[in-house]
Structure 1
Amino acid sequence: MVGVGAERTAEIAASVERFVRDVVIPLEQGAPRSSHGPSDDFVQALRVKAREAGVLTPHILPDGSHLSQRETAKVLIKSGLSPLGPLACNTMAPDEGNMYLLGKVGSPELKERFLKRMVAGEARSAFFMTEPAAEGGAGSDPSMMQTTCVQDGNHWVINGRKAFITGADGAKVGIIMAKSADGACMFLVDLPDPAIRIDRVLDTIDSSMPGGHSVITIDNLRVPADQMLGQSGEGFQYAQVRLSPARLSHCMRWLGACIRANEIATAYACKRQAFGKLLVDHEGVGFMLADNLIDIQQSELMIDWCASVLDSGSLGTAESSMAKVAVSEALMRIADRCVQIMGGTGVSGDTIVEQVFREIRAFRIYDGPTEVHKWSLAKKVKRDFLKANPA
């Protein structure tokens, strides 16, 4: 991936950072939200401001080209400095990953009908892959998918159940994965649709994404055949095109949030007096801040390394798994230390530190738990060894 170069990337990232710090952060305390995320009206109001500032969907250029993954990292980290930043700048999940997928594999017709609205920040989207674990559906193992699609003339009929579908409530575009006789398939659909029912919106530990996370029933949904991505049976192939960069994008955004949380904790430690001196002068606190700097730097390097692999044209499945594990665990340590440094203030809503802690805890599970990625990497270790050392 060619990208726009270091100088132009730095300009875009600086513009995003100014916008988030000067416009978005002052709105954090008064943001209208529920336990299922900020309201759509508020998100649209933020996007009006982002559009005026020239930072709406900054990772996709006016000609439709996409920043390289390394360039995207510079920008998305800055958008993540506030939990509201990705919403305002249209770099949030699942939209950012869905836009990337459609930009890569969507037909011109699908791009015009679905992607254009998403890039403009006018339509939120949802990615319907995960299924209820209690019903034996696909969770971290998509090969267990039970949602089916059957061709009926020039339509496909989809039936099944989905769970933890981020942003489905209020979304206007859906990407649905289902299983045909050929294998996994992927479809683009307009939302809402009476055949797609939201059974409930789950109460979860995180609260940054509009629409929350829903349990869905799909009942005889008829989708025109030309709204399938690619051919029947190619769904897993397209899922990998989306999932590896999306895991890395999560790392980028939440690194930005942890950088901000560390700034808040640092300011607190450098101003708060206890036992005759500033908190930062107590080794127990100062060392935690030092450890945060180390974890932040290591996370930045891991993101940059994985992004360079993706930019080389590789799917980067193993690399994105390593980045997801290393960065999510490092960010959890950072967020936890920030709460600990700030004591009672750290668990209050007076700053974003407690929210960042909750969001990062959820991130360790979303897009694949740490243990699943380690298991996948262990299988690769064995496979590579047997290939190099045949019996």
Structure 2
Amino acid sequence: MSGAGREAASFDALVERLRQFIDDEVIPGEDLGTAHDAQAVERTAAQLRARAQALGFGAPRTAVAEGGLGLSWEQCCVWLEEAGRSFLGPLALQCAPPGQPDLAALEQLLTPAQQARWLAPLRAGRLRSCFAMTEPAPGVGSDPRMLRSTAVRDGEGWRLDGHKWFITGAEAADVAIVVARTEAGPSWFMVDTTTPGFERVRAIRTIEPFALGGHGEIRLEGCRVGPDALVGEEGQGLAYAQLRLEGARLFHCMRFIGLASRAMAMAQDHAATRESQGVPLAEHQMVQAHVADAHIDLYAARLMTREVARDLDAGRSIRHSSSMAKVFVSEAVCRVADSAVQITGALGVSEDLPLSMILRMVRPFRIYDGASEVHRAAIARRAFTRRLRP
């Protein structure tokens, strides 16, 4: 067998081990009754995370030498889809937002000293991160030019002031990547959440279950950090945010394809056994149409995501293609989850099955990491300004 063949066989075996872990340990660990209890979710996730590490399941994109799996972006498409079939899978396997996108960006931007202070413990799971960019009106939302948080030089360090909200993972975070405006422009700062002047105002409840760390509101008032808190170059914060978002969008696509495929598999099992008008639901053409459309959506979503992943592996720009993939996949997984609920009827909207929770989990993806409408506008602008052919 060639070297490439051995590598493929090794990866296939790794994925099979992951599939068994998800089926045998992670999905059975889901307690729908505590889906909105952050402490209960954290306890279960911590147990599963320890078990995953014992099985050798490190962070997918982190280098093998650093305790990760060193997977390519294309391999991550398979890995994260399997992990994403469970609400708890990404939490157990160090590929849940915001941690994994944060790691992917910080690995490229931090100095050796910063890596020792923040990156190494983040990789090991001893620290949690959050990415603090979004602000309440009139601050930054979909338009990065509206950033209002400020960072002013204060002696050798910086003084940060601002108001952030809907910051994923903020409640459980030990360190925040704070985006603030300096004289040179938007910049990134590593801020330990125990720093005086860093205040967690509240956890914002959303429709999502199993949202470890929640979506927090943060205030920074006279929050002073040292000179080593600045990430990369001053004024390059928006470029860094784009770097982070491209990977984050793909990770979302991969995970939610897995969750939506689980929903449809459950709906198909239900339709095969539940009868209506004397025959199984699976024999009704309207049900068949829902199933067929779901398979088409998932097939297209996988192909699109993997194509973008190949471009990323090859070092090609994915700004345009990742926007298109994000819009399509976010809407496709919603259609699939909605069809699964429709096929299962009253059972689907109950919490006897996880289908309604799956629908609630995937719905916000049409807003997170850029709303579909914003991406469509950007896609069209690029098509016209660059005279792109469809």
The residue number in structure 1 matching 2:156 is 154
The residue number in structure 1 matching 2:381 is 379
Bigger CA drift: 30-39 or 197-206? Answer: 30-39
Q: Does 1:272 align with 2:274?
A: yes
Matches within 5 A, 1:25-44: 25-29=27-31, 32-34=34-36, 39-44=41-46
Q: Note if contact 2:61-2:104 (Cα within 8 Å) is conserved in structure 1.
A: no
- How far the C-alpha of 1:234 sits from its partner, in A, is 1.2
- How far the C-alpha of 1:30 sits from its partner, in A, is 6.0
Instruction: State the secondary structure of the residue aligned to 1:256.
Output: helix
Q: 1:321 and 1:273 mapped to 2: Cα distance? A: 42
Q: Does 1:52 align with 2:33?
A: no
Q: 2:27 and 2:36 mapped to 1: Cα distance? A: 18
- How far the C-alpha of 1:308 sits from its partner, in A, is 1.2
Alignment deviations for residues 214-263 of structure 1 (CA, whole Å, 9 cap, x no partner)? 11111111111112111210111211111111111100001110111111
- How far the C-alpha of 1:170 sits from its partner, in A, is 1.7
Q: 1:154 and 1:207 mapped to 2: Cα distance? A: 43
Bigger CA drift: 192-201 or 344-353? Answer: 192-201
- How far the C-alpha of 1:111 sits from its partner, in A, is 1.8
Q: 2:336 and 2:61 mapped to 1: Cα distance? A: 27
The residue number in structure 2 matching 1:286 is 288
Q: 1:111 and 1:229 mapped to 2: Cα distance? A: 11
Equivalent AA in structure 1 for residue 54 of structure 2: E
- How far the C-alpha of 1:37 sits from its partner, in A, is 7.9
The residue number in structure 2 matching 1:69 is 73
The residue number in structure 2 matching 1:113 is 117
* 114 and 8 in structure 1: CA distance in 2 versus 1, 3 angstrom threshold: farther
Q: Note if contact 1:10-1:74 (Cα within 8 Å) is conserved in structure 2.
A: no
The residue number in structure 1 matching 2:215 is 213
- How far the C-alpha of 1:36 sits from its partner, in A, is 5.6
Q: Note if contact 1:200-1:214 (Cα within 8 Å) is conserved in structure 2.
A: yes
- How far the C-alpha of 1:44 sits from its partner, in A, is 1.3
Residue number among 128, 139, 148 corresponding to 1:137 in the alignment: 139
Equivalent AA in structure 1 for residue 247 of structure 2: P
Alignment deviations for residues 173-202 of structure 1 (CA, whole Å, 9 cap, x no partner)? 211110001011001122233321122211
Q: Does 1:257 align with 2:259?
A: yes
Q: 1:246 and 1:35 mapped to 2: Cα distance? A: 25
- How far the C-alpha of 1:31 sits from its partner, in A, is 6.8
Instruction: State the secondary structure of the residue aligned to 1:111.
Output: helix
Instruction: State the secondary structure of the residue aligned to 1:310.
Output: helix
Q: Does 1:335 align with 2:337?
A: yes
The residue number in structure 2 matching 1:317 is 319
Q: 1:279 and 1:103 mapped to 2: Cα distance? A: 50
Residue number among 84, 95, 118 corresponding to 1:80 in the alignment: 84
Q: 1:163 and 1:27 mapped to 2: Cα distance? A: 30
Residue number among 183, 186, 198 corresponding to 2:185 in the alignment: 183
Q: Note if contact 1:9-1:75 (Cα within 8 Å) is conserved in structure 2.
A: no
* 322 and 260 in structure 1: CA distance in 2 versus 1, 3 angstrom threshold: same
* 38 and 370 in structure 1: CA distance in 2 versus 1, 3 angstrom threshold: farther
Bigger CA drift: 81-90 or 5-14? Answer: 5-14
- How far the C-alpha of 1:32 sits from its partner, in A, is 3.9
The residue number in structure 2 matching 1:104 is 108
Q: Note if contact 1:309-1:319 (Cα within 8 Å) is conserved in structure 2.
A: no
- How far the C-alpha of 1:5 sits from its partner, in A, is 4.8
Equivalent AA in structure 2 for residue 295 of structure 1: D
Q: Does 1:7 align with 2:35?
A: no
Query: CA RMSD for the aligned pairs?
Result: 1.9
The residue number in structure 2 matching 1:230 is 232
Q: 2:303 and 2:139 mapped to 1: Cα distance? A: 36
Bigger CA drift: 191-200 or 34-43? Answer: 34-43
Q: Note if contact 1:31-1:38 (Cα within 8 Å) is conserved in structure 2.
A: no
Q: 1:145 and 1:315 mapped to 2: Cα distance? A: 25
Q: Note if contact 1:38-1:208 (Cα within 8 Å) is conserved in structure 2.
A: no
Q: 2:322 and 2:339 mapped to 1: Cα distance? A: 25
Q: 1:172 and 1:383 mapped to 2: Cα distance? A: 43
Q: 1:56 and 1:366 mapped to 2: Cα distance? A: 26
Between Structure 1 and Structure 2, how many residues are aligned?
A: 383
* 356 and 223 in structure 1: CA distance in 2 versus 1, 3 angstrom threshold: same
Matches within 5 A, 1:157-172: 157-172=159-174
Structure 2: tracts of 5 or more residues without a match: none
Instruction: State the secondary structure of the residue aligned to 2:300.
Output: helix
Equivalent AA in structure 1 for residue 194 of structure 2: P
Q: 2:7 and 2:376 mapped to 1: Cα distance? A: 34
* 198 and 128 in structure 1: CA distance in 2 versus 1, 3 angstrom threshold: same
Q: 1:194 and 1:337 mapped to 2: Cα distance? A: 49
Q: 1:30 and 1:295 mapped to 2: Cα distance? A: 27
Instruction: State the secondary structure of the residue aligned to 1:189.
Output: strand
Q: 2:111 and 2:7 mapped to 1: Cα distance? A: 28
- How far the C-alpha of 1:338 sits from its partner, in A, is 0.3
- How far the C-alpha of 1:381 sits from its partner, in A, is 1.1
- How far the C-alpha of 1:48 sits from its partner, in A, is 1.2
